């Protein structure tokens, strides 16, 4: 709707922000949520997470290790050289390679294991709980929510 001029305001994640900006020169980005979060919070803004059932962790601990290491390597490769995966993103997600590459300059993507991310995630979920308890099921998850290894 922003691209076509049918909306005047929107909240969008990357890479949609970059896509809209590339297609409508009249659209301006007013806020960057990560920068605003950093301005008021002394923590990172969690953006994504990996969810694994306990049964899987118990049955396939080696597989989980491989998955996490592969995910970390892919994340590091993608952030270091977005052009190396841009054609794959274009093919699999129908997103122009250039939009993906340009959006990566705006995104602070990094791999953080569960225990190291716990404080930031707890802080974020606590803010959501204050704002809208139903968004987090009425409570912040306990320590069992985080993978211990």
pLDDT digits (tens, 9 = 90+) for 42-95: 899 888 888 899 899 899 989 999 999 999 999 999 999 999 999 999 999 989
Q: Cβ contacts of residue 19 below 8 Å, gap of 6+? A: 3, 95, 96, 99, 103
Residue 144 has pLDDT above 90, yes or no: no
- Any idea where the domains of the chain sit in the sequence? 114-149
Short-list 36, 35, 38, 29, CA closest to 11? 29
* Residue range 8-50, pLDDT digits in tens: 999 999 999 999 999 999 999 999 988 899 999 989 988 888 8
Reported as a pLDDT band with limits 50, 70 and 90, residue 149 is low
Phi-psi category of 5—alpha, beta or left, where left has phi over 0 and alpha has psi -120 to 50?
A: left
pLDDT of res. 59: 93
Q: Look up the pTM and report it.
A: 0.80
């Amino acid at each position: 709707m922003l691209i076509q001029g049918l909306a005047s305001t929107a909240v969008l994640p990357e890479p949609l922000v970059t896509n809209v900006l590339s297609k409508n020169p009249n659209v301006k980005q007013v806020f960057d949520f990560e920068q605003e979060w950093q301005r008021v919070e002394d923590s990172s803004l969690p953006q994504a997470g990996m969810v694994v059932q306990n049964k899987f962790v118990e049955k396939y601990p080696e597989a989980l290790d491989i998955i996490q290491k592969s995910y970390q390597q892919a994340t590091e490769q993608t952030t270091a050289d977005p052009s190396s995966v841009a054609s794959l993103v274009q093919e699999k997600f129908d997103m122009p390679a250039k939009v993906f590459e340009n959006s990566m300059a705006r995104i602070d993507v990094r791999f953080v294991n569960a225990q190291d991310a716990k404080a930031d995630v707890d802080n974020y979920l606590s803010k959501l709980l204050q704002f809208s308890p139903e968004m987090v099921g009425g409570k912040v998850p306990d320590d069992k929510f985080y993978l211990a290894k």
